[in-house]
Each structure stands twice: as structure tokens, then as C-alpha cells.
Amino acid sequence: MKIFIDSADVWAIKDAYETGLIDGVTTNPTLIMKSGRHPEQVYQKLKDMGIGDISMEVVGNAEAMISEGRRLKAKFGDCATIKVPCTPDGLLACRTLSKELIRVNVTLIFSTAQAILAAKAGATYVSPFVGRLEDNSHSGVEVTRSIVDVYKRHGVHTEVLAASIRDVAKVTLAFWNGAHICTIPPTVFEKMYNHVLTDAGLKIFDEDHKTTFPTERVGGDMDALGDISYPPITGTDDGFTYTINTDDPLLDIDFGDYNEDDPRIGFIP
């Protein structure tokens, strides 16, 4: 189970990647255009961050896509996944590049039949567009489930990368229906942390913590710890109970061999 970020916003990707929960990045010409950068500037920035799987989209006829795919692989190395459309030319390019052990992500998948062809062409990933299917009154999650089921029945190793995901619920549903990877915008990734009950529970815990330990929960003044008043501490030994006078801090006391004249220890019958 992997999560990719679907964006060309380098700073947003950096913030997400630094959580340690992101496994790769997908981009496309539209996202690159919105970033205002040259595609290869974006790819280089992502590679420099240490991201090991970056989908780099190529266009044109089969010959052009093959040539560009080879060039990108040579320039960016193992982090390069070549992204091609599910068209006759795209699948010809996929077949050639995959034989050269270059990862290929076949995109613009809208049916199980297309995913079957992509797998036959040697695709590393197929990307069903969940959101766009939903826009056209089709269940994107059901198409994802169908692809996963066919691949399992026939021992296909191509992974299903659910794309065009616009909300947290669809992330959950895509994984529940067998997607190996979900690629999501940074905003959806951030929302995955959120739940109203988590917020409510954290508020209660913070209030209780302040009552018990009157210092800041995180990043507080550590010098203030010396001013904390703790409840009386008790220990049991040989059937007797002892209390510690916390006005005179007690560190390591051996209750089995104590000094009865020590004013810090009181006997309670």
C-alpha cells in the first residue's frame, strides 16, 4: 500500500514527503503548467529531495514517446517512471520501454479492458481515473475493483494506481477495493489526518495534562518542571506503608534498609 502525491508544486510536495509517508509523485502537463516551471526543473527538484518514483509524462507518437522516455531515464535515472496514455501509440511505447526495464505508468485508464491491454504491454502501473469516471456517472471505485480482480485471477504483476482522487473517502474506498497505490493532491493528503473525534479527544487530553502537569504540553519551559507539585508517593515494605515528604525531594530510597531517623520517612500504622 503506497501513497503518491499528485502535484508539481515543489514546496507542497516537500512538506508531504518530509512526513515519511509518501512513496512517490505523479505529474502531468496540466500540473506542470500550473507550477510555472519547466518540467525538468520540477523533476530535478524532486529527485534532489530523494523521491525515488516520479511519473514523467511524454507525448507524441510511439517513436517520440520512446525516444523521450529513454532520454528521461538516462537523465534522471532510477527515479524516472515514464507516463504514457492508453492509446495504440502509448501502448507501443510502453511495450518497448518496459522491455528495456524502464518503469511505465499507463494513464487515462477508464475501463478494465484498457487495463488488460496495458498489462499485456508490460505496464508497471495502470492509472484508472476515479474522479473523472465519477464525473461521467460511472463508479471509478468499481472500475478499480474490477481491474484488481482481473489481475489477481490471472497473476498479473502490474499495480493499480488509483488517480484523479479528490477526497479522503475515495482514498479509503480505493484501497479497500484493492488499489496498490493512490495518488492524491497535497490537500487531500493533509485532510487524511483529520477527524472531529480526534480533535475533541486531543482537547480533553491536553486539558487533563495541564491539570496534572502545569507546564506546556510540547516545547514548554523545562526549567518550570522544578516547580511541579506531585501527589504524595507511597511504597510498601514488610507490611508497613511509608509516605515521602515531597518538600525534601527523595531520589533512590531502599525501603528494605532505611534509616528510621530520616525525617523524610513517616510511619503509618
Cut 0.85: pTM above it = no
Same-domain pairing of 247 and 156: no
What SS3 class is residue 126? strand
Q: Which three cell numbers stand for residue 102?
A: 524502464
Last-in-domain residue among 139, 167, 191? 191
The structural domain count of the chain equals: 2
Q: What are phi and psi of 142, to 5 degrees?
A: -65, -40
Same-domain pairing of 168 and 248: no
Give yes or no: 203 in active site: no
d(CA 147, CA 129): 12
Range of the domain at 31: 2-191
Same-domain pairing of 161 and 234: no
**Per annotation, catalytic residue among 14, 34, 83, 120:** 83
- Any idea what the CATH number is for the domain that residue 36 is in? 3.20.20.70
d(CA 221, CA 201): 25
Residue-wise pLDDT for 201-247, tens only, equals 888 888 877 787 765 555 555 555 555 555 554 554 444 444 444 45
Q: Three-class SS string for 153-205?
A: HCCCCCEEEEECCCCHHHHHHHHHCCCCEEEECHHHHHHCCCCHHHHHHHHHH
Residue-wise pLDDT for 69-122, tens only, equals 999 999 999 999 999 999 999 999 999 999 999 999 999 999 999 999 999 999
User: Counting runs of H as helices and runs of E as strands, what totals does the chain give?
Assistant: 11, 11
The four Cα atoms 169, 170, 171, 174 give a dihedral, to 10 degrees, of 130
Same-domain pairing of 60 and 150: yes
Return the DSSP state at 129. B
